[in-house]
Amino acid sequence: MLVRLLYVSRAADAALKDLDNILQHARTYNAEHGITGALCYSSNIFMQVLEGSRTEVNRLYATILRDPHHTDVELLHYEEISERSYGSWTMGRVDISRLNTSTVLKYSEHADFNPYANSGKMSLAMMQELVATANIIGRA
Ligand SMILES: Cc1cc2nc3c(=O)[nH]c(=O)nc-3n(C[C@H](O)[C@H](O)[C@H](O)COP(=O)(O)O)c2cc1C
Amino acid at 110: H
User: Which residue's CA is minimally distant from atom 1 of ligand 1?
Assistant: 46
- Residue 136's pLDDT is 59
CA 79 / ligand 1 centre spacing (Å): 21
Residue 34's H or E segment, with its range, is none
Do the domain assignments include residue 105?
yes
Do the domain assignments include residue 138?
no
Q: For every one of its 140 residues, what pLDDT tens digit does the chain have, with 9 covering 90 and above?
A: 999 999 999 999 888 889 999 999 999 999 999 999 999 998 899 999 999 999 999 999 999 999 999 999 999 999 999 999 999 889 988 888 777 788 888 998 888 889 999 999 999 999 988 877 755 555 44
CA 80 / ligand 1 centre spacing (Å): 22
| Ligand 1, pocket residues at CB < 6 Å | 15, 22, 25-26, 29-30, 39, 46, 48, 60, 63-64, 67, 69-70, 91
In three-state form (DSSP H/G/I as H, E/B as E, the rest C), the secondary structure along 48-111 is EEEEEEHHHHHHHHHHHHCCCCEEEEEEEEEEEECCCCCCCCCCEEEEHHHCCHHHHHHCCCCC
Do the domain assignments include residue 106?
yes
Please answer whether residues 23 and 39 qualify as being in contact, where contact means their C-beta atoms are separated by less than 8 angstroms: yes
User: Which residue's CA is minimally distant from atom 9 of ligand 1?
Assistant: 26
- Residue 102's pLDDT is 85
Do the domain assignments include residue 84?
yes
What is the total count of domains within the chain?
A: 1
- Residue 140's pLDDT is 43
We report the CATH number of the domain holding residue 67 as 3.30.70.100
- Facing residues of 78 across strands? 5
Find all residues with CB under 8 Å of 25, minimum gap 6, and list them.
none
- Domain range for 37 is 2-132
- Residue 133's pLDDT is 73
Closest ligand 1 atom to Cα of 67: 17
Q: How far apart are CA 131 and CA 90, in angstroms?
A: 13
- Residue 139's pLDDT is 47
